[in-house]
């Protein structure tokens, strides 16, 4: 009672009985979270970690270069820095560069990597500072980017959009994203059943130096260790013995002394006995004989004995991540024992681990990938220097060997640039060879770019038909968007992050080890081994390594969490218990997914209205919530230990955490959909894919960009029905779509198969009008023979002295002028190139005036374009760069594709004049008529509600929310409609515009946000009567881009055969394709030439006939490989 008094004494009676009020606007934590973390923060964090910390560690690990030639010579790195992005103006003069300049000038946005070194020159020891060794592409908005900490006004000065998320690289003028890579967790034991049902354990160990995979397999009840470096599987008991555990009793003690465990392990001991191996030496020798011989490059040390080799192997290659110091194998033994025990316990009982469980996954980000690449390049750089030192030092020279003169920058620079621009990550060290790691950032719309930054690609083969890794895992809840995945072969393998997901970076584990020891974790090395299997003893793992054991795991976990909440440990360290395995896992490694949750104390949310108020007033930041233990991050494994309430009213006495907002379980793309919780799930998935094709706006700097392809909407609008996500990602500032008044009804026959009927007057007034920008590019190069490309003025007509038509739009400088209209085949840049570009051979005649041939840049396209702007600059190679931006304005036409935000796409089937459109009571005509058949099978109820909410919003003059799992209620929205005299159901009395009589049905009528998709007929239309042919076969070319023919394929051919239209067949397949007159000698059956058979040396039997050119080609190709096809000719009437 006294305690209660102390706690509640200051409250009045009323306050005590008042109901506990809920935290009203806890979603406000989200903008606060996104302010600190941002949508692409994971990329930026990871890159920052790499250039600021990791790179120093890499340098430390490879800090010394020595030479075999001179033991006194050395090179030691003292420090390494990544500078700020700059560009070389002239020799050794640099100037800071902005990302946009790099985009325009096709350069790489990169910063110099400089090192401080200490080395010897002769007998001198020299220290040199700030020596460049290469250039590092810089991620936009990272700590070294010029954009960090700038205000929107400063962004505008740099021609940069403040809403652009950053997190990508600019390499050779192209924006490249390093996709997040999903992989199985490193250094964790995974117990799995194979196809036959036998259980085994595997560990993929990975350290800086090595990566290896160790398997524990069971064959006929015996345990074997399987490893790549071993030619055959080694009985596990022999491994134990080789590691110095010679006594069988000790082995069994480590594994466990329960009867069934001993029984399961006994055959393995027996096998060892049979092999007659009792001592460590014997065991090592046994293993040494099984080691696969592989001469690694660079390891040309003295030859080791087999025993040493085996010992070395056990210490460093097998289970690399378990540290072994001076061949004390104790920890590794225990680790293997735990693996064995895990497998024994998993047998029979279904306790195998799930590979697809998201707690077993790690995400690799740009920073990690780049650090792997950089380390490889750095090592190569060092070994190159060593090679040079080895070569140069023995030679006597006047000047002493100065290594600085041999440090070549381009190796690291090119290595980085090529990897990012091609996406091929091939590292010799780890035998890694991955393709498609990077992708060009899609700038089709703002959402496309954002969506790309949150994309996760997985390592699984796309072609394999597996369902496991593709299906939605319950553990992905809240971490990955359940909707946003492509359809087709990459389905479920390419995923997207949810709105609040954060990916951790690596952390120091030293303090955690110390803390764990202080909290009562006992070192395993001090134990005899049997304790491991005690029922009340829990094993403590830190990042996959055994730290020790703990008796009271509950207390450890609780204290640990309290310390973390108090800020003594990094907030991203996670601790979780696995009761069935009797383990406590502490993780501080990078690549884990986690998200913030509100802490629940005493069945009350720790965050109260007061906190939220302070947040909205700006007194508080998200960081404060973390520090005051109101909010904490949970990773996937720790989530399993917690009891998270979705809503405040569902808190029970077991609840530990409270969700911040349920809609955050969706990602960026799915967040655009209003009322997604009312839609059939695949529809949301379709919309996620289509939102990326919607045109609109791409950034505030869109008009300054010269992209290869850019689609913009002339009059983009914010959606009437928005969501919280839309506000958070500021989609409203860069929208992609328009609010169209939609009538859901049948109209004419041109609306079948989801086709839409558009109102002509709406199109006249600017609905769906879009701008298409394309660019044309050319460089003026210098060649090695002192010649160079040049641009010449326009050619004049001889008679009229006017510019010829092809050069009509050229200025006097030979480059088209802005604002002009270009037609097909007109010249944009009148470029000339020297005919001879090679250096003339020695002794050949001195070239006179260089000869030029014209290589004009011409415009090709079915419709005319306008020239928006012309840029003249120089690129990184100092060549002139001319970029021309071309513009087309298009109004929607029949066949253009539109879509609502509910995966309901359709093409325009008919454009109807306004007077023919139905109109409602107030005289409103719809912009779009949509057929009601689109609804029943698609079940996009969300679209119906969007229409209602949109209509109410229009009447009321405000925006409604369609946030997932919330948003404006249908009931309230409908009440609004009634207030304005509309029908409760949103169905209006509509009059036909054609007859003037009312329609028999009430029409569902109101605004829906429509997106115009990038697929337009103008870009697809294609027909050909005559046209180019392929050189080799003389058949018509293929594809629209080459003005190709339309193929009469096999099946069409079958039809013609079946119909008996043989002459048509002949006409299509030969006469109109590749008919060719050949002279065939009737005697020898070979092809002749202009009426003469070269084989028979006569012309008497030669006759002329028409065959397909491809057929003639085949004969000749066959002849070239000594097969002689002979044609037998006979008279037609014989």
* Residues making contact with other proteins (CB under 8 A): 703, 714, 760-761, 764-766, 769, 771, 819, 866, 868, 887, 889, 913-915, 919, 921-925, 977-978, 981-984, 989, 991, 993-1002
Judged by DSSP in three states, 488 sits in helix
CB closer to other proteins, 2 vs 997? 997
Contacts of 819 by beta carbon, 8 Å cutoff, 6+ apart = 866, 867
Residue number, 154 or 915, with CB nearest to other proteins: 915
Tokens of residue 207, six digits:
């350290």
Q: How far is CA 645 from the centre of its chain?
A: 32
What is the C-alpha to C-alpha distance for residues 1047 and 1024, in angstroms, rounded to an integer? 11
Of 167, 289, 300, which is closest to residue 230 (Cα–Cα)? 289
**Helix 446-453 vs helix 681-691: crossing angle, to nearest 10:** 110
The CA-based angle 920-922-927, given to 5 degrees, is 55
* C-beta neighbour count of 1058 within 10 angstroms: 8
Q: How far is the CB of 766 from other proteins (least distance, A)?
A: 7
The 3-class secondary structure across 591-640, one letter per residue, is CCEEEEEEEEECCEECCCHHHHHHHHHCCCCHHHHHHCCCEEEEEHHHHC
CB closer to other proteins out of 567 and 998: 998
Q: In terms of CB distance, is 94 or 746 closer to other proteins?
A: 746
SS (H, E, C) 171-188: ECCEEEEECEEEEECCCC
Angle between helix 609-617 and helix 29-37 axes, rounded to 10 deg: 50
Based on CB atoms, which residue is closest to other proteins, 781 or 987? 987
Sign of the Cα torsion 147, 151, 156, 160 reads: positive
* Tokens 């020239």 sit on residue: 867
Q: Which two tokens stand for residue 867?
A: 């020239």
Of 116, 523, 754, 956, catalytic: 754
203 DSSP β-pair partners: 189, 214
**Which residue in the block uniquely carries the two structure tokens 């030679």?**
395
The least distance separating other proteins from the CB of residue 974, rounded to whole angstroms, comes to 10
- Number of Cβ within a 10 Å radius of residue 495: 26
The CB-of-137 to other proteins minimum distance in angstroms stands at 32
Q: For residues 142 and 166, is the Cβ–Cβ distance under 8 A?
A: yes
The distance of closest approach from Cβ of residue 1005 to other proteins in the complex, given in angstroms and rounded to an integer, is 13
Nearest residue (CB) to other proteins, 509 versus 927: 927
Helix (H, G, I), strand (E, B) or coil at 423: coil
Beta bridge partners of 773: 710, 887
Smallest distance, Å, CB 899 to other proteins? 24
The two three-digit tokens of residue 7, written as one number: 């706690």
| First-to-last C-alpha distance (Å) of the chain | 123
3-state secondary structure of 874: strand
Backbone φ and ψ of 248, nearest 5°: -60, -35
Give the pair of three-digit tokens for residue 1123: 């097969």
For the chain, what is the largest distance between any 2 Cα atoms, rounded to a whole number of angstroms? Answer: 128
- Encoding tokens for residue 832? 């000339």
In the complex with other proteins, the residue whose CB is nearer, 226 or 887, is 887
The Cα–Cα gap between 657 and 595 comes to: 12
- State which residue, 61 or 1001, has the beta carbon closest to other proteins: 1001
Task: For residue 316, give the DSSP letter.
Answer: I
Give the pairing type, strands 199-206 and 189-193.
antiparallel
User: Among residues 775 and 914, whose Cβ is nearest to other proteins?
Assistant: 914
Q: What tokens were used for 448?
A: 């496309």
Q: Which lies closer to other proteins via its Cβ, residue 989 or residue 1095?
A: 989
Residue identified by tokens 């640099």 is 94
Query: Active site includes 86?
Result: no
- 3-class state of residue 267 by DSSP: helix
Torsion angles phi and psi, residue 558, rounded to 5: -65, -45
User: 966 or 993, CB closer to other proteins?
Assistant: 993
* φ, ψ (nearest 5 deg) of residue 285: -65, -45
Shortest Cβ 941–other proteins spacing (Å): 20
**What's the closest the beta carbon of residue 992 comes to other proteins, in angstroms?**
8
Rounded CA separation 169/175 (Å): 6
Closest CA to 539 of 586, 578, 583: 583
Output 703 or 806, the one with its CB closest to other proteins. 703
Q: Where would I find the beta strands (DSSP E) of 69-109?
A: 74-82, 86-90, 93-96
Nearest distance from C-beta of residue 890 to other proteins, angstroms: 10
Smallest gap, in angstroms, from Cβ of residue 99 to other proteins? 21
Q: Which is nearer to other proteins, 866 or 1076 (CB)?
A: 866
CA distance 901 to 1011: 7
Cα 1076 to Cα 250: distance, rounded to the nearest angstrom: 87
Positions marked active-site = 754
């Amino acid at each position: 009672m006294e305690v209660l008094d102390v706690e509640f004494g200051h409250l009045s009676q009323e306050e005590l009985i008042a109901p506990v009020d809920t935290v009203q606007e806890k979603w406000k934590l989200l903008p606060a979270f996104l302010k600190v973390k941002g949508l692409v923060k994971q990329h930026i964090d990871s890159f920052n970690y790499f250039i600021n910390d990791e790179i120093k560690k890499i340098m430390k690990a490879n800090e010394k270069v020595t030479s075999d030639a001179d033991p006194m010579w050395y090179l030691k790195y003292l420090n390494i820095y990544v500078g700020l992005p700059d560009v070389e103006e002239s020799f050794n003069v640099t100037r800071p560069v902005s990302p946009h300049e790099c985009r325009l000038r096709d350069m790489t946005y990169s910063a110099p990597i400089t090192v401080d070194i200490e080395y010897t020159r002769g007998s001198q020891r020299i220290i040199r500072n700030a020596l460049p060794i290469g250039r590092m592409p810089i991620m936009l908005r990272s700590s070294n980017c010029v954009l960090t900490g700038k205000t929107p006004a400063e962004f505008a000065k740099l021609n940069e959009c403040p809403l652009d998320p950053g997190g990508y690289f600019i390499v050779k003028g192209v924006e490249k994203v390093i996709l997040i890579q999903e992989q199985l967790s490193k250094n964790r034991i995974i117990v799995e059943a194979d196809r036959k049902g036998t259980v085994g354990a595997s560990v993929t160990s990975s350290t800086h130096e090595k990566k290896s995979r160790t398997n524990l397999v069971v064959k006929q009840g015996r345990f074997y260790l399987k490893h790549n470096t071993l030619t055959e599987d080694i009985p596990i008991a022999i491994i134990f013995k080789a590691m110095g555990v010679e006594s069988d009793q000790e082995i069994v003690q480590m594994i466990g002394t329960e009867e069934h465990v001993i029984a399961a392990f006994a055959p393995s001991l027996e096998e060892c006995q049979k092999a007659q191996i009792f001592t460590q030496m014997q065991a090592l020798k046994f293993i040494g004989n099984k080691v696969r011989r592989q001469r690694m490059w660079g390891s040309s040390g003295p030859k080791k004995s087999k025993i040493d080799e085996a010992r070395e192997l056990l210490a460093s290659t097998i289970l690399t991540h378990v540290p072994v110091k001076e061949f004390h194998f104790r920890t590794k033994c225990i680790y293997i024992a735990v693996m064995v025990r895990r497998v024994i316990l998993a047998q029979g009982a279904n306790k195998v681990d799930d590979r697809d469980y998201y707690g077993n996954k790690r995400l690799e980000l740009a920073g990690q990938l780049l650090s792997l690449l950089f380390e490889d390049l750095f090592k190569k750089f060092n070994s190159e220097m060593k090679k040079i030192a080895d070569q140069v030092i023995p030679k006597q020279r006047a000047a002493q060997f100065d290594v600085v003169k041999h440090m070549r920058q381009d190796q690291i620079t090119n290595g980085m640039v090529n990897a990012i621009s091609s996406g091929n990550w091939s590292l010799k060290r780890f035998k890694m060879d991955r393709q498609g790691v990077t992708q060009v950032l899609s700038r089709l719309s703002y959402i496309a770019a954002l969506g790309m930054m949150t994309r996760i690609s997985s390592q699984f083969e796309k072609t394999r038909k597996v369902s496991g890794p593709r299906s939605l895992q319950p553990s992905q809840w809240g971490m990955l968007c359940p909707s946003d995945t492509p359809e087709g072969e990459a389905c479920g393998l390419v995923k997207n992050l949810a709105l609040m997901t954060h990916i951790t970076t690596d952390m120091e584990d030293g303090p955690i080890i110390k803390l764990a020891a202080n909290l009562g974790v006992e070192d395993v090395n001090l134990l005899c081994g049997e304790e491991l299997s005690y029922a009340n003893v829990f094993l403590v793992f830190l990042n996959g390594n055994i730290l020790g054991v703990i008796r009271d795991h509950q207390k450890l976990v609780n204290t640990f969490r309290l310390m973390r909440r108090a800020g003594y440990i990094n907030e991203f360290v996670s601790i979780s218990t696995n009761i069935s395995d009797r383990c406590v896992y502490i993780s501080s490694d990078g690549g884990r997914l986690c998200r913030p949750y509100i802490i629940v104390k005493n069945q009350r949310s720790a965050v109260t209205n007061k906190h939220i108020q302070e947040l909205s007033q700006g007194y508080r930041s998200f960081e404060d919530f973390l520090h005051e233990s109101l909010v904490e991050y949970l990773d996937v494994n720790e989530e399993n230990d917690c009891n998270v309430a979705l809503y405040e009213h569902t808190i029970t006495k077991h609840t530990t955490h409270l969700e911040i907002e349920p809609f955050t379980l969706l990602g960026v793309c799915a967040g655009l959909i209003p009322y997604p919780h009312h839609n059939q799930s695949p529809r949301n998935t379709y919309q996620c894919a289509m939102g990326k094709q919607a045109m609109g706006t791409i950034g505030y700097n869109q008009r300054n960009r010269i992209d290869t392809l850019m689609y913009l909407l002339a009059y983009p609008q914010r959606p009437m029905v928005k969501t919280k996500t839309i506000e958070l990602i500021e989609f409203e500032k860069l929208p992609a779509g328009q609010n169209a008044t939609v009538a859901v009804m049948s109209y004419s026959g041109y609306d079948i198969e989801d086709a839409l009927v558009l109102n002509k007057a709406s199109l006249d007034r600017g609905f769906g009008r879009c701008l298409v920008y394309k660019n044309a590019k050319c460089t003026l190069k210098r060649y090695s023979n002192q010649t160079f490309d040049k641009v010449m003025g326009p050619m004049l007509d001889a008679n009229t002295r006017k510019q010829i038509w092809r050069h009509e739009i050229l200025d006097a400088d030979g480059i088209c002028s802005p604002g002009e209209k270009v037609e097909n085949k007109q010249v944009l840049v009148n470029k000339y190139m020297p005919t001879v570009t090679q250096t003339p051979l020695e002794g050949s005649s001195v070239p006179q005036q260089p000869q030029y041939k014209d290589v004009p840049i011409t415009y090709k396209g079915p419709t005319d374009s306008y020239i928006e702007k012309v840029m003249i600059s120089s690129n990184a190679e100092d060549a002139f760069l001319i970029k021309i931006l071309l513009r087309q304005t298009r109004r929607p036409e029949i066949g253009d594709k539109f879509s609502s935000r509910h995966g309901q796409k359709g093409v325009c089937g008919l454009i109807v004049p306004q007077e023919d459109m139905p109109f409602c009571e107030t005289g409103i005509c719809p912009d779009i008529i949509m057929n009601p058949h689109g609804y029943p099978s698609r079940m996009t109820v969300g679209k119906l509600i969007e229409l209602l909410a949109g209509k109410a919003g229009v009447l009321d003059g405000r925006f409604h929310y369609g946030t997932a799992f919330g948003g404006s209620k249908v009931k309230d929205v409908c009440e609004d409609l009634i207030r304005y005299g509309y029908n409760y159901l949103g169905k209006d009395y509509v009059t036909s515009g054609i007859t003037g009589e009312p329609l028999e049905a009430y029409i569902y009528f109101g605004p829906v946000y429509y997106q115009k998709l990038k697929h337009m007929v103008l870009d697809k239309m294609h027909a050909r009567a005559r046209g180019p042919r392929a050189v080799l076969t003389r058949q018509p070319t293929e594809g629209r881009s080459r003005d190709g023919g339309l193929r009469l394929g096999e099946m069409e051919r079958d039809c013609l055969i079946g119909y008996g239209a043989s002459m048509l067949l002949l006409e299509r397949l030969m006469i109109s394709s590749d008919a060719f007159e050949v002279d065939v000698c009737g005697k020898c059956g070979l092809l002749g030439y202009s009426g003469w058979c070269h084989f028979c040396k006569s012309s008497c039997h030669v006759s002329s006939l028409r065959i397909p050119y491809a057929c003639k080609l085949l004969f000749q190709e066959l002849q070239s490989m000594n097969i002689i096809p002979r044609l037998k000719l006979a008279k037609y009437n014989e």
